[in-house]
Amino acid sequence: MKLIEMMKQRAQSEQSYFRAALLREDIARLEKLLALAHTCESLEDFEKDGLFIGWTQGDLRTGELKAPLLPLMAAIFAYVNGPEDETMEQAIVARWADFNAQRMKILVHCL
């Protein structure tokens, strides 16, 4: 997936320890989602399992991310289970940007 490749490249050159660590954690989460998408029979099962893979500490605040996270998960599920399509890669990157912006707002409020 292009998003993961982009994140790996960025993590290698990132000078901020915090950002590099978050990128590595996000890569691991996205890889978990990809693996889940291959094994889940339905989008509903995928969403149920994928919501609780450590998006927030102990997944205690993951519910606050549900609105931007579900479209990202739907795009990943479609990417894995549909025909190969460049627009799906673009949709995943766009959904990730939406999700990440919302998540950063929540993380900042936790500090």
pLDDT for the residue numbered 86: 86
The pTM score is: 0.90
For each of the chain's 111 residues, which pLDDT tens digit applies?
A: 999 999 999 999 999 999 999 999 999 999 999 999 999 999 999 999 999 999 888 888 888 899 999 999 999 999 999 988 889 999 999 999 999 998 888 776 654
Sketch the domain layout of the chain as residue ranges. Answer: 2-110
Angle between helical axes of 86-110 and 66-81 (0-180°, round to 10): 150
- Coil, helix or strand for 76? helix
pLDDT for the residue numbered 79: 95
